[in-house]
Amino acid sequence: MTQTPLSYKDAGVDIVAGDALVERIKPLAKKTMREGVLAGIGGFGALFEVPKRYKEPVLVSGTDGVGTKLKLAFEWDMHDTVGIDLVAMSVNDVLVQGAEPLFFLDYFACGKLDIDTAAAVVGGIAKGCELSGCALIGGETAEMPGMYPAGEYDLAGFAVGAVEKSKILAGQNVKAADVVLGLASAGVHSNGFSLVRKCIERAGANAPALLDGKPFKQALMEPTRLYVKNVLAALAAFPTSPEAPTGIKALAHITGGGLLENIPRVLPEGLAAHLVKGSWPQTELFAWLQNTAGIDDIEMNRTFNNGIGMVVVVEAADAQACAAHLRAAGEQVYVIGTIAPQGRGEQVVVA
């Protein structure tokens, strides 16, 4: 008995659709090209040459995803900004070491490839790369029948940056009396969405139409802010070194674990950040989340960025000028605290 031949498409994988997506992606990736790219999209491996302006380059890498925020993207059919989230979560982490993001790669996995959805996602990735000055030089689209429900996908991103060895930021110059600046977030960013979704479920039809002047869904899906260009410019204007420990001493990207768990990662042993409650405004979005979830301030500052997406620790004498520099570049900047000896308490105190 002769059996009917089976093709890869019969098994659920559409090679033609995959090829069509690559063609859609190429012009998007082209917009992100920068110095150092030798070969990008289309090869087995992307080639990148570290710019020769670096004397002692140290490579800094980061990887992340978007988390359960994707569940809302599926439910609300909002796919064009989660790619920005994907880029931001990695490049903002790389930035914390004082590094300039150089290139980015993505991984998009689904059960059945929808070209329009995938192109919208990758379009966001390309936009995020363009805004942060790094090249989208490669990636992988994996169509895996049976692995994901219809209409769903997963994302992972990988960023590589470079920093002069002498300019690595590791918090080593932080001392008591340094000032803590907070750069405003664009919203929830990409952390805490398991709780966000519970809040949406609890609110039901009573969810507000607007939050901070934006439609409810847009306010929650607002992508993670890309701090790269503005903070790199500030680092150049307010440098620090062991020989001259002035300027910007440390950076902390406020992601999972919020203010309470991310700031200690860049503080030397024996020092603590004392943040002043109310020194930055609580937006309608975070007020709604707190009220709906019924949680206290400690839980808010541990779960969400709570309105502060990036923390800058700076020499007290430079704090005012550094804040003005960042504001002139378009950041909302708040003086939210100071560094002090830790004693026996926590490394972050909000009071």
What are the backbone angles phi and psi of residue 48, rounded to the nearest 5°? -140, 130
Give the whole-angstrom CA distance, residue 320 versus residue 190.
30
Q: Which two tokens stand for residue 44?
A: 């087995």
Give the whole-angstrom CA distance, residue 24 versus residue 266.
41
Its pTM stands at: 0.93
Domains contained in the chain, CATH given: 15-167 (3.30.1330.10), 179-350 (3.90.650.10)
Please say whether the beta carbons of 227 and 93 come within 8 A.
no
User: Helices 316-328 and 228-237, interaxial angle, to 10°?
Assistant: 140
Beta bridge partners of 209: none
Name every residue whose Cβ is closer than 8 Å to that of residue 85 and which is 6 or more positions away in sequence: 66, 69, 124, 128, 189, 190, 223, 224
Q: What is the pLDDT along the chain (351 residues), one digit of tens a residue?
A: 567 776 667 556 667 777 788 888 788 888 899 898 987 677 788 899 999 999 999 999 999 999 999 999 999 999 999 999 999 999 999 999 999 999 999 999 999 999 999 999 999 999 999 999 999 999 999 999 999 999 999 999 999 999 999 999 989 999 999 999 999 999 999 999 999 999 999 999 999 999 999 999 999 999 999 999 999 999 999 999 888 889 999 999 999 999 999 999 999 999 999 999 999 999 999 999 999 999 999 999 999 999 999 999 999 999 999 999 999 999 999 999 999 999 888 899 888
Name every residue whose Cβ is closer than 8 Å to that of residue 302 and which is 6 or more positions away in sequence: 257, 258, 259, 260, 261
Please say whether the beta carbons of 36 and 51 come within 8 A.
yes
